[in-house]
């Protein structure tokens, strides 16, 4: 998933921390195919989880954790887009803005459809 590759280090740390809410370092390390020392390095921000580790994290997450991970990813992407819009406003084409609006409208309509299913 390309979005994972673009994740900030902070979002990666958040995902590992989230998974540790229900697991020990040792359990998480085993599930991710890593050593407990690697998990400790992530938590102390000496190193950050690779794309492969984040993908494994998503795969081992339960439904509730996966929802929270997706939220972390989306918030990170939104922050990145906001930063680009603020820092490079003069270079942003109206077509790019139009495409972003279309994506947001699509997501909003999808949210409405999902809420209708719950009723």
**pLDDT score, position 119:** 46
pLDDT band with cut points at 50, 70 and 90 for residue 114: low
- CATH number, domain 2-87: 1.10.260
Give percent above pLDDT 70 in the chain: 92
* DSSP letter for each residue of 22-51: SS-HHHHHHHHT--HHHHHHHHTTSS---H
More confident residue, 27 or 94: 27
Name which of 1, 11, 18, 15 is nearest 77 in CA terms: 11
Mean per-residue pLDDT, 79-93: 87
**What is the value of pTM for the model shown?**
0.82
**pLDDT score, position 113:** 60
Sequence spans of domains, the chain: 2-87, 90-119
């Amino acid at each position: 998933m390309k979005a994972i590759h673009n994740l900030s280090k902070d979002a990666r740390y958040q995902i590992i921390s989230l998974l540790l809410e229900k697991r020990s370092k040792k359990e998480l390390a085993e599930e991710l195919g890593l050593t407990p020392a690697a998990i400790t390095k992530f938590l102390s921000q000496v190193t950050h989880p690779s794309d492969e580790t984040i993908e494994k994290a998503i795969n081992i997450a339960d439904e509730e954790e996966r929802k929270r991970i997706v939220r972390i990813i989306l918030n990170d992407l939104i922050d990145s887009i906001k930063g680009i819009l603020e820092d490079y406003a003069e270079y942003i084409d109206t077509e790019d803005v139009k495409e972003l609006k279309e994506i947001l409208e699509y997501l909003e309509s999808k949210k409405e459809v999902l809420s209708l299913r719950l009723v």
